Amino acid sequence: MNDLIIGMAGSGGDGIVSAGESLIHALAADGYFAILTKSFGSQIRGGESSCRLRVATTPVLNPGGALDVAVVLNWEDFLRFGGELPVNEHTFVIYEQKTKRLPHDLPLGGVTPAVALAVPFEEMAMKSAGANLAKNNVVLGLLAAWFGLPRESIMAGIRKKFAKKGEAVLAGNERAFTAGFDYATLNPLPGAGRLAPATPPRGKMLLTDGNELCARAALFAGCKFFGGYPITPATEIMQHLQRDIWKHGGSLLQAEDEIAGVGAAVGASFAGKKSMTATSGPGFSLKAEMLGLASVTELPLVCVNVQRGGPSTGMPTKREQSDLFAAVFSAHGDTVRPVLAPTTVADTFDVTVEAFNLAEEFQTPVIVLSDQELAQRKEIIAPIDTSRFRIIDRREPTPAELVDYQRFRFTDSGISPLSHPGMPGGNYLAAGIEHDESGAPTANGTVHARMNDKRLNKFAPLQQRRDLFFIEGEPDARIGLISWGSVAGIALEALRRVRAEGIEIKLLVPKLIYPVAEEIYRDFFASLSRCYVIEQSHQGQLHRLIRMWCDVPAEFNVLAKSGANPISPDDIVEQIYAMTRPGSSRRVSLRRIAAGAR
């Protein structure tokens, strides 16, 4: 096999996620490409946990669809993940013997898997290691033997992980792995294939996640201050920065709440420092007023929103793309803030650097819309080539401009020179109230209109940035797809599958979500008669946003699902087939598609 998808689920403390991380480390060491996603219940302690690992001999674009292998330590926990761990008639289901389920009586909603095998995970763990907690390493041994995963690399990872816990603990976990391996060798799994050998890539590869790369990119871009508050699934950005920002001459404040965190970041930007905050949906709502202050005072600021299921507390541990409207429209007054979205773990680095550059260039808050999957999934990627980046700093006033300095002076570009405290001649009033060119408060309607023009029109060059859009496919295709964020990789895989079958189609992936680049969409739509927007939100928010600003094809539909109801490449391929069949001109109900399998 050149591509294998493994899903595992159990209770908190079963070591399921730990087993997945051990696997991806071993696969990275052997030269494979892989993506590991993790999912949890929203309980603070206990509850269910799962992971899914997609490993391949060539680069992978997304976590994939139905599982090739499902490992079930506890049926109740496994079923809580629903569509996140889908099985079909081709899946090998390996489950704990103690559940006393018969292979023909599994709670899989009528699905009959290719193979269903009960295995005594706990019994083997107790006999080999004397501890039930070692059953995750039993699972690794089984998978290594049945599916040809790298035995020596997995064992090396186990030794590294448990070396500090004492010889007895290490030996026990080694025995647990061996027990699983030996059991699988003596009990072959009918029809199981073996993973093809990897071709080791040249040089070292990185095993990382989106939150870590976001933090690294911020430091690379020159971030000198972070103000924030812990919130799932964005907390790791602050944790990574806390360890390293001091080494770069910066500082970090874990504030008492979300409002204080962004307020401190706005203050640091006023003081001349590149600044950042990070949060998720509920925290982003609290930051809205301070983001408005940064807009009216034209201060650079990067705000990362790692989206999760909403509204309110919602589903803190699940992916969703439902904060787009909040990012675009939550500002009061006539306010435009650039909104960017990365599409892969590696792309998070690029987009974060770009966000800092745009913030500094246009003197504005910039919002980065990541999501739970991109932020927390582990991915094997090529090292980041930092030589290809250009770092932009804010435009400071020249000595001549500091004579009778006017902070908000009208310019052709709409961008005015920005001083900082302590700069001789650079003092000015930075208040949230409307102001004239010097910063003095005003209620004059003419001045207010000119200031609105200044603040909005300065983004016109940004809307021409074609490098912030990815397009693949036939330029004159009649059928098109649009997708964004973490779902873009799913759409791209579907596109390549149907193009290989001879279907002419093209895909547009915007990294610049707002302001809407009307000309770029107009050029993409020119040849289209039908188009689907693919996104992980119940309303189809990008679909609606595009309709607000652009003339769209006659058939402009959406494939949208709420969070925790994953979209798979097969879902998209099915819609493409429907569009290419004779008589398929019907519009598809948004509500029916958004409801998924209900």
Decide if pLDDT at 589 tops 70.
Answer: no
C-alpha–C-alpha distance, residues 394 and 300, integer Å: 8
Q: Give 273-309 pLDDT, tens digit per residue.
A: 999 999 999 999 999 999 999 999 999 999 999 999 9
User: For residue 586, what pLDDT is reported?
Assistant: 39
How far lies 144's CA from each of 181, 255, 425, 456, in Å? Answer: 7, 46, 69, 57
Domain with CATH 3.40.50.920 in the chain: 468-594
Question: Ramachandran region of residue 425, left (φ > 0), alpha (ψ -120 to 50) or beta?
Answer: left
- 319, 25, 293: which is closest to 156 by C-alpha? 25
| Amino acid occupying residue 429 | L
Sorting pLDDT into bands at 50, 70 and 90, what band is 13? confident
CA angle 476, 477, 481 (to 5 degrees): 125
Sorting pLDDT into bands at 50, 70 and 90, what band is 595? very low
Give φ, ψ of 21 to 5 degrees: -70, -35
- 244, 201, 202: which is closest to 223 by C-alpha? 244
How far lies 414's CA from each of 71, 360, 442, 513, 561, in Å? Answer: 58, 13, 19, 21, 40
C-alpha–C-alpha distance, residues 270 and 394, integer Å: 11
pLDDT-wise least confident of 195-199, 228-232, 509-513: 195-199
C-alpha–C-alpha distance, residues 594 and 598, integer Å: 9
Which tokens go with 110? 């009528």
Residue 136 CA from chain centroid, whole number? 27
Question: Ramachandran region of residue 298, left (φ > 0), alpha (ψ -120 to 50) or beta?
Answer: left
Q: Does domain 468-594 have CATH number 3.40.50.920?
A: yes
Decide if pLDDT at 591 tops 50.
Answer: no
Which tokens go with 212? 């870590």
Please state the rounded mean pLDDT for residues 319-328: 97
Domain with CATH 3.40.50.970 in the chain: 210-388
Give φ, ψ of 541 to 5 degrees: -70, -40
C-alpha–C-alpha distance, residues 374 and 489, integer Å: 11
Residue 588 DSSP class = P
User: What residues does 10 pair with on adjacent strands?
Assistant: 49
Q: Are 512 and 460 in contact (CB under 8 A)?
A: no
Sorting pLDDT into bands at 50, 70 and 90, what band is 43? confident
Please state the rounded mean pLDDT for residues 220-235: 98
Please state the rounded mean pLDDT for residues 547-561: 96
Packing angle of the helix pair 569-580, 488-500 (nearest 10 deg): 50
C-alpha–C-alpha distance, residues 253 and 232, integer Å: 18
Which tokens go with 323? 């904060």
Domain with CATH 3.40.920.10 in the chain: 3-186
Give φ, ψ of 73 to 5 degrees: -85, -25
**Torsion sign across C-alpha atoms 143, 144, 145, 148:** positive
pLDDT-wise least confident of 160-174, 272-286, 314-328, 389-403: 160-174
Q: Give 237-261 pLDDT, tens digit per residue.
A: 999 999 999 999 999 999 999 999 9
595 CB-near residues (< 8 Å, 6+ apart): none
Q: Around Cβ 195, how many Cβ atoms within 10 Å?
A: 21
| Amino acid occupying residue 497 | R
Exposure of 89 by Cβ count < 10 A (0-12 exposed, 13-18 middle, 19+ buried)? exposed
Residue 298 DSSP class = T
CA end-to-end distance (rounded Å), the chain: 33
Q: Does domain 3-186 have CATH number 1.10.1670.10?
A: no
Give φ, ψ of 522 to 5 degrees: -60, -45
Which tokens go with 525? 């739509």
User: For residue 598, what pLDDT is reported?
Assistant: 25
Please state the rounded mean pLDDT for residues 316-323: 95
Round the average pLDDT of the chain to a whole number and report it.
94
CA angle 180, 186, 190 (to 5 degrees): 100
Decide if pLDDT at 597 tops 70.
Answer: no
How far lies 57's CA from each of 61, 116, 200, 374, in Å? Answer: 12, 27, 9, 21
Decide if pLDDT at 27 tops 50.
Answer: yes
| Amino acid occupying residue 35 | I
Packing angle of the helix pair 258-270, 281-296 (nearest 10 deg): 30
Residue 407 DSSP class = T
Alpha helices in 210-368 (DSSP H): 210-221, 235-244, 258-270, 281-296, 324-329, 345-362
479 CB-near residues (< 8 Å, 6+ apart): 503, 504, 505, 506, 528, 529, 530, 531, 576, 579, 580
pLDDT-wise least confident of 140-154, 196-210, 494-508, 582-596: 582-596
User: For residue 199, what pLDDT is reported?
Assistant: 80
Q: Are 360 and 274 in contact (CB under 8 A)?
A: yes
Domain formed by 210-388, architecture: 3-Layer(aba) Sandwich (3.40)
User: For residue 14, what pLDDT is reported?
Assistant: 87
Residue 157 DSSP SS3:
helix
